[in-house]
């Protein structure tokens, strides 16, 4: 794709791929969900945004039913574009978590923004994050210490420049969130209460009880709704990026979405398209991620020939409740596992196996405060050695 940048002013400095629209005569893209059929359109550009679209397909719906290789029936709804179903924005942001919302607030200073989300705006991984956000806010702590902790926890595979930016700018990002209205816990001295979590050598976790992500999401959404340049489109499932070839590269001009309320395809044409669509936790049988975490953005990027990297690094949260072991079962099956926040271990929580043996010190000198990947592998090793299933205790 055209440019790879860090969405720098966000609370989380995640590397995102940004697709910059440029002038072209033709663009080809998938016109339906799961159906390898393409449509052709002519583009006329004005100031980088297409104004004339000629769609060479009929304006009607089709329903295709076919058999999968497992014998199950599968129905795909093909919805062609209707008049007035194309929208034009300077920026299109796919995803309504912390990365997408914070980016939208920043770029809204420079143009109109469409925030596209497949469920309600608050339904993101951000909303389910519990423990807190790390930032150097204590005089006895230092940015250098935070950087070292991060690099060590990342097995020395981190992008060191990204680590430097995140750790250096973290305190200011926290202050920005507070200015937006986010409410974090304070200690008796009136200062922010700082917790400690795995992999950290100091207490530097800013939190809102054990619902930090929910509070951050609330504050960001409130700021987004007040911004006249930002428009939120909920229940719009992103189908495919609209791309064309520009020399040896691929250029993105926006995204086709399915309005799941009306079953109509809505096209967003934009100068810049940002993928901030979250992870793919629900490709696994058990996950603490919400049901929306199905990796749609990664799949779209792959189909658009974007470079996909570091997909082997999937973080599994070490601790969650296993419903089958609870004395009182939930009234209905959970769509995601109930996460036990890492702050429990940060405040002295100890992990035991079923024989009430503490096992973490035998795996890592940091014991329960080792990084999450170390704790998760240790728990998995205990279960395999003892031929047990994960269960609550």
By annotation, the residues acting in catalysis are 372
Q: What are phi and psi of 4, to 5 degrees?
A: -120, 120
Name the helix (H) or strand (E) containing 76: strand 73-79
**How many other CB atoms are found less than 10 A from the CB of residue 225?**
10
Q: How many whole angstroms separate alpha carbon 66 and alpha carbon 371?
A: 46
- Sequence-separated (6 or more) residues with CB below 8 Å from residue 313: none
SS3 126: helix
**How far is residue 76 from each of residues 67, 282, 293, 299, 387, measured CA to CA in Å?**
11, 21, 21, 18, 42
Q: What are phi and psi of 368, to 5 degrees?
A: -65, -15
CA pseudo-torsion sign 360, 366, 369, 374? negative
> What long-range pairs does 120-124 form, CB within 8 A, spacing at least 24?
120/234, 120/235, 121/96, 121/221, 121/224, 121/232, 121/234, 122/96, 122/214, 122/217, 122/218, 122/221, 123/96, 123/290, 123/292, 124/95, 124/96, 124/97, 124/98, 124/217, 124/278, 124/290, 124/292
Residue pair 271/49 in contact by the 8 Å Cβ criterion:
yes
Q: State both tokens at 329.
A: 């079962």
């Amino acid at each position: 794709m055209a440019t790879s940048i860090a969405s720098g002013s966000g609370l989380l400095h995640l590397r995102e791929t940004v697709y910059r629209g440029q002038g072209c005569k033709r663009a080809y893209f998938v016109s339906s969900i799961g159906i390898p059929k393409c449509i052709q359109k002519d583009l006329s550009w004005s100031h980088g945004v297409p104004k004339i679209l000629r769609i060479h397909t009929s304006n009607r719906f089709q329903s295709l039913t076919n058999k999968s290789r497992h014998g199950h029936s599968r129905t795909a709804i093909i919805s062609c574009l209707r008049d007035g179903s194309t929208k034009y924005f300077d920026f299109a942001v796919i995803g309504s978590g912390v990365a997408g919302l914070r980016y939208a607030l920043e770029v809204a200073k420079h143009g109109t923004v469409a925030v596209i989300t497949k469920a309600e705006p608050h339904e993101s991984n951000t909303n389910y994050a519990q423990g807190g956000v790390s930032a150097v806010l204590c005089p006895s702590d230092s940015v250098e210490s935070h950087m070292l902790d991060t690099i060590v926890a990342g097995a020395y595979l981190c992008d060191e420049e990204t680590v430097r930016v995140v750790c250096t700018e973290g305190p200011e990002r926290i202050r920005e969130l507070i200015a937006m209205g986010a409410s974090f816990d304070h200690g008796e001295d009136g200062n922010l209460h700082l917790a400690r979590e795995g992999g950290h050598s100091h207490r530097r976790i800013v939190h809102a009880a054990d619902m930090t992500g929910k509070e951050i999401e609330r504050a960001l959404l409130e700021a987004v709704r007040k911004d006249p340049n930002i428009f939120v489109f909920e229940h719009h499932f992103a189908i495919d990026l609209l791309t064309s070839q520009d020399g040896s590269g691929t250029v993105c001009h926006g995204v086709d979405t399915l309005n799941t309320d009306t079953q109509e395809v809505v096209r967003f044409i934009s100068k810049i398209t940002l993928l901030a669509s979250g992870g793919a936790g629900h490709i696994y049988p058990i996950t603490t991620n919400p049901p929306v975490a199905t990796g749609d953005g990664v799949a779209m990027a792959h189909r658009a020939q974007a470079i996909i990297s570091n997909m082997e690094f999937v973080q599994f949260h070490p601790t969650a409740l296993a419903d089958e072991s609870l004395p009182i079962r939930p009234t209905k099956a959970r769509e995601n596992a109930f996460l036990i926040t890492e702050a429990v271990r940060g405040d002295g929580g100890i992990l035991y196996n079923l024989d009430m043996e503490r096992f973490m010190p035998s795996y890592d000198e940091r014991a329960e405060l080792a990084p999450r990947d170390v704790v998760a592998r240790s728990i998995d090793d205990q279960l395999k050695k003892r031929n047990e299933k994960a269960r609550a205790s």
